Amino acid sequence: MTLSKKLGAEFIGTFWLVLGGCGSAVLAATFPDVGIGLLGVSLAFGLTVLTMAYAIGHISGCHLNPAVSLGLWSCGRFPTADLVPYIVAQVLGGLAGAATLYVIATGQAGFDVTAGFASNGYGEHSPGGYSMTAALTIEVVMTFMFLIIILGATDKRAPQGFAPLAIGFGLTLIHLISIPVTNTSVNPARSTGVAIFQGDWAISQLWLFWLAPIVGALFAGVLYRWFQAEKASTSSE
């Protein structure tokens, strides 16, 4: 598979993640009488990854997330040469998804993008008023666990064909835990896309939603690489 095709798949997949996940939060979370709420938004994010994993996993690996690409790289499963192109494609896909959502959302009279636009935040911009320390901690830990799920589910020794389910439901669980704290990022491309359109505080706090997911992903990649070494050592004895 050529790199250009992989990048195209990553662009489309990240576009879908932002449009589907953030779109559910902006358009449907509190819709009168039939709002989907926290559970619905969490499930929407999980479903975007699950569906794309089956749709493009065989093309690009379905990272859809700079932190995932970096985690796979730190585990030795992703080439250094493809890292920056993947991240660029993911960020552009996230921006395209956010732009599409903006066009749709502003079609409603009175819509105010500065109210949040599914952006991630801490302090006064945390849904539950959680501190920067709490936000940093949960984003590192949730991304760490997300990468452990991804690396384990896609291990050659894992049951084949079930990885998208584990990863999709894993992301759903992560959102159920952390939406009240940060609106859940674990994905710098997702955070960047909507922050650009929200502007103001979302951009000023965006650094945390790059730093924390990357740190968590790198820790997970290094740890899983150690697990793999241990397994290799055990099997050779």
- Express each pLDDT in 152-200 by its tens digit: 999 988 888 899 999 999 999 999 999 999 999 999 999 999 999 998 8
Query: In the prediction, which pLDDT does 230 show?
Result: 60
The rounded distance, in Å, linking the Cα atoms of 146 and 131 is 22
Q: Give me the mean pLDDT over the 194-208 stretch.
A: 95
Q: Mean pLDDT of all residues in the chain?
A: 94
- Of 156 and 5, the structure prediction assigns the larger pLDDT to 5
Query: In the prediction, which pLDDT does 83 show?
Result: 98
- Express each pLDDT in 100-127 by its tens digit: 999 999 999 889 898 889 999 999 999 9
Instruction: Using the predicted structure, report yes or no on whether residue 236 has a pLDDT greater than 80.
Output: no
Taking residue 33's Cβ as centre, other Cβ atoms within 10 Å add up to 4
- Express each pLDDT in 42-97 by its tens digit: 999 999 999 999 999 999 999 999 999 999 999 999 999 999 999 999 999 999 99
Residue spans per domain, the chain: 3-236
105 Cβ contact list (under 8 Å, min separation 6): 26, 27, 111, 113, 117
* C-beta of residue 217 within 8 angstroms of C-beta of residue 67: yes
Instruction: Using the predicted structure, report yes or no on whether residue 234 has a pLDDT greater than 70.
Output: no
The rounded distance, in Å, linking the Cα atoms of 48 and 107 is 24
What are the tokens at 115? 């109210």
Say yes or no: domain 3-236 is CATH 1.20.1080.10.
yes
60 Cβ contact list (under 8 Å, min separation 6): 1, 5, 6, 7, 9, 10, 13, 86
Query: In the prediction, which pLDDT does 34 show?
Result: 67
**Is pTM, for the whole model, over 0.85?**
yes
Confidence of residue 237 (pLDDT cuts 50, 70, 90): very low
